[in-house]
């Protein structure tokens, strides 16, 4: 068809930053910025945006981009000596011209391979106060599937030649777009233990049937299942998050006071977003030289089913 847009397009984004647009033949799309290796858009075949990016997001290095799917590496949050959420989200990634084979369906043409390698800047700050140099290769494949599903596969390798291991924590800091946070439920984390970041990381056990939202939430759920559902009652939409290699799950919404305190976040935008993040936090990942870790995240958006007037995620979670 003449005029049909390619499945992969390299172009310029906000402030002239390089980005890659992925398109699927039925109309879904995704955008990935080389700055941060960050997915900033994921639209369904109706053109509806499924990820939240703040209207006040700063697409200007060295500031991180508020929204989409920032990658937290080699440190989650402030759990260590580095800047919050590590430095991968503040680095310029490169197109990986020689990627290793990925277990991706070969019929998927809409994908991009990115790579981030140790920089001189990294060596100055990681690890803090330790003379041991850390060398790594971080390969990321972002794929838009035939049904509009979005998949991110990260492969991190220790390339030290001095025999030294290194450890890191990690998260896909996914910002989902929701119609009204008070009408959202998260299923799949019931009865699990979590660390509450609002209570000095004290450990608690989740009560109740589902997670709902009426105030600030910042929790790290431990030993979570490979599938989590986010139900948006008003939009009659369910996000399904599938993950491998990522035992933890972070649930975060800043609510009103914290939203007002963030310069790159609108005062009322907390009502229209929810972060549910596939992560490896409680037990840091340690790699010996030559070893590789892999973490996979797959996102899909499906119409919600109803049962007795309530959103019924069981079909999704068991499917």
Which residues are identified as catalytic?
Answer: 173, 277
Under a CB-based contact definition with an 8 Å cutoff, are residues 230 and 241 in contact?
A: yes
Q: Which helix (H) or strand (E) holds 40?
A: strand 38-43
From CA 202, how far away is CA 210, in angstroms rounded? 21
**How is 243-310 classified by DSSP, letter by letter?**
EES--EEEEEE-HHHHHHH-TTS-TTGGGGEEEEEEEEEEEEEEE-TT-EEEEEEEEEEEEPPEETTE
Contacts of 130 (CB under 8 A, 6+ apart): none
Asked whether the beta carbons of 253 and 230 are under 8 A apart, the reply is no
């Amino acid at each position: 068809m003449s005029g049909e847009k390619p499945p992969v397009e390299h172009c310029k984004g906000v402030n002239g930053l390089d980005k890659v647009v992925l398109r699927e033949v039925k109309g879904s799309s995704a955008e990935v910025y080389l700055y941060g290796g960050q997915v900033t858009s994921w639209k369904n075949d109706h053109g509806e945006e499924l990820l939240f990016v703040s209207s006040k997001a700063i697409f200007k290095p060295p500031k991180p981009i508020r929204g989409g799917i920032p990658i937290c590496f080699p440190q989650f949050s402030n759990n260590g000596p580095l800047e919050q959420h590590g430095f991968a989200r503040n680095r310029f990634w490169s197109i990986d011209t020689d990627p290793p084979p990925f277990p991706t369906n070969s019929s998927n043409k809409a994908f991009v391979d990115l790579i981030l390698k140790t920089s001189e800047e990294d060596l100055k700050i990681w690890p803090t106060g330790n003379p041991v140099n850390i060398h790594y290769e971080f390969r990321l494949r972002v794929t838009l599937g035939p049904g509009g599903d979005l998949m991110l596969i990260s492969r991190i390798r220790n390339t030290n030649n001095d025999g030294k291991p290194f450890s890191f924590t990690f998260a896909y800091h996914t910002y989902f777009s929701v119609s009204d946070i008070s009408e959202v439920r998260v299923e799949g984390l019931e009865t699990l233990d979590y660390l509450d970041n609002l209570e000095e990381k004290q450990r608690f056990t989740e009560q109740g049937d589902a997670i709902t939202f009426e105030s600030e939430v910042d929790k790290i759920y431990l030993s979570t299942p490979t599938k989590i559902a986010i139900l948006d009652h008003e939009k009659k939409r369910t996000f399904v998050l599938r993950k491998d290699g990522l035992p933890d799950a972070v649930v975060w919404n800043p609510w009103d006071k914290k939203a007002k305190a963030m310069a790159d976040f609108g005062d009322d935008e907390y009502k229209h977003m929810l972060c549910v993040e596939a992560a490896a936090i409680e037990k840091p990942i340690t790699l010996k030289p030559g070893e590789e870790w892999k973490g996979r995240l797959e996102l899909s958006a499906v119409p919600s089913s109803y049962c007795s007037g309530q959103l019924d995620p069981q079909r999704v979670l068991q499917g």
